[in-house]
Amino acid sequence: MSENQIAINEGTSITNQETYDAVRGYVVVAQKQVNTAINSAMVTAYWYIGKQIYEACGESERAEYGKQLLRYLSEKLMEEFGKGFNVRNLQMNVSMNQIWNRH
């Protein structure tokens, strides 16, 4: 048996590369599952963010307050979580919430 083979049961062997390929495959699948779960959780979070902002702003009669609130939230959230929470993205969260609520 060569250095790059591992004995599995009697009479069966597998190479180090085959073992690596199998282990790598498990890691790749797990990473994809994690990414899918994270994406799903973030879409849900964005929907709730949009809902919260919409409810805080009310209808169009509070438009100026809404602009101020978006700027405030954006500043605070970007400070803590990074650039993904700029005013435009928060506006898109509100739009997404409203679109999904209509369907």
What are the sequence ranges of the domains in the chain? 5-102
Confidence (pLDDT) at 2: 58
Neighbours of 12 (CB within 10 A): 8
CA-closest candidate to residue 3, choices 11, 12, 17: 17
pTM value?
A: 0.72
Report pLDDT digits (tens) over 17-61: 999 999 999 999 999 999 999 999 999 999 999 999 999 987 655
CA distance 8 to 25: 19
CA distance 27 to 13: 23
Residue written as token pair 């879409």: 43
Q: For residue 13, report the phi and psi dihedrals to the nearest 5 degrees.
A: -140, 155
